[in-house]
């Protein structure tokens, strides 16, 4: 059975991917910080193994990966700092965003890549953002981390394609997730997702299942998934 390791699997896109891949027959290791949400995931499908871990805890993450054979790595965990002008950002928020969205992603990828290269196969996916490719106000550091992920994914592909390892960047536009839960009030979030025009996490998950089903010689290097109807700049993933 093909094994997938997904970070940030307790909500939003990560949870949707964990459920969709388990339904598709994958053995899914779902990593996240909420033990309650992880238990719920485990009860939702027998192919899901929950792993309670903070991706910024390097020792804990290395122990969690351990000797697992990972065929598909999905670097999905991420955070959005408080919205606002870069000049007013707290250094602690800058540090946290860089650590979660970039450093932890690179570290986990480094832990998993050697085993994939040894087998001559594997697929690494990154949940990116339209904010990596289009300039929006009030999210400068978040945009920087996602742009770094885009560059890392492209260069990683150049490093690993000769070893049969595929790399995909998921470029998500407005997806209705919990990303803004802690930084926008209920009314602001309702306005952001008004009219049922946002992409749903399940839509992204369907795309991931489809591209993973392609033959090994076909690599979807990047896919963009955006709302059909126009959105305002504040609505990036």
Conformation bin of residue 84: beta by default, left when phi > 0, alpha when psi is -120 to 50: left
User: Could you report the per-residue pLDDT of 141-191, keeping only the tens digit for each?
Assistant: 999 999 999 999 999 999 999 999 999 999 988 787 665 555 565 555 555
Supply 213's token pair. Answer: 């089903």
Point out the least confidently predicted range of 66-70, 173-177, 198-202, 206-210.
Answer: 173-177
Confidence of residue 232 (pLDDT cuts 50, 70, 90): low
Supply 194's token pair. Answer: 């008004």
Q: Active-site residue among 26, 142, 180, 193?
A: 142
CB atoms within 10 A of CB 189: 16
Stated pTM of the model: 0.90
Concatenating the DSSP letter of every residue in 132-180 gives: GTS--TT-HHHHHHHHHHHHHHHHHHHHHGGGTEEEEEEEE-SB-SSTT
Do the Cβ atoms of 143 and 135 come closer than 8 Å? yes
Residue with tokens 């969690």: 64
Domains of the chain: 3-235 (3.40.50.720)
142 in active site: yes
């Amino acid at each position: 059975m093909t094994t997938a390791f997904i970070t940030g699997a307790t909500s939003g896109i990560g949870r949707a991917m964990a459920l969709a891949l388990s339904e598709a027959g994958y053995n899914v290791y779902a990593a996240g910080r909420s033990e309650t949400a992880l238990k719920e995931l485990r009860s939702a499908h027998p192919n899901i193994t929950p792993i309670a871990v903070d991706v910024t805890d390097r020792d804990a993450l290395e122990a969690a990966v351990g000797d697992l054979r990972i065929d598909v790595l999905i670097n999905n965990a991420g955070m959005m700092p408080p919205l606002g002008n870069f000049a007013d950002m707290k250094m602690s928020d800058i540090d946290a965003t860089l650590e979660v969205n970039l450093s932890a992603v690179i570290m986990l990828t480094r832990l998993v890549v050697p085993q994939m290269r040894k087998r001559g196969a594997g697929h690494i996916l990154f949940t990116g953002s339209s904010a990596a490719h289009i300039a929006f106000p009030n999210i400068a550091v978040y945009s920087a981390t996602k742009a770094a992920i885009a560059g890392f994914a492209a260069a990683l592909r150049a490093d690993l394609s000769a070893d049969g390892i595929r790399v995909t960047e998921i470029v998500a536009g407005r997806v209705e997730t919990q990303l803004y839960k802690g930084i926008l009030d209920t009314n602001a979030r309702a306005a952001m997702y008004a009219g049922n025009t946002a992409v749903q996490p399940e839509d992204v998950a369907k795309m991931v299942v489809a591209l993973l089903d392609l033959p090994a010689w076909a690599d979807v290097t990047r896919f963009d998934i955006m709302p059909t109807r126009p959105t305002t700049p504040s609505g990036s993933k």
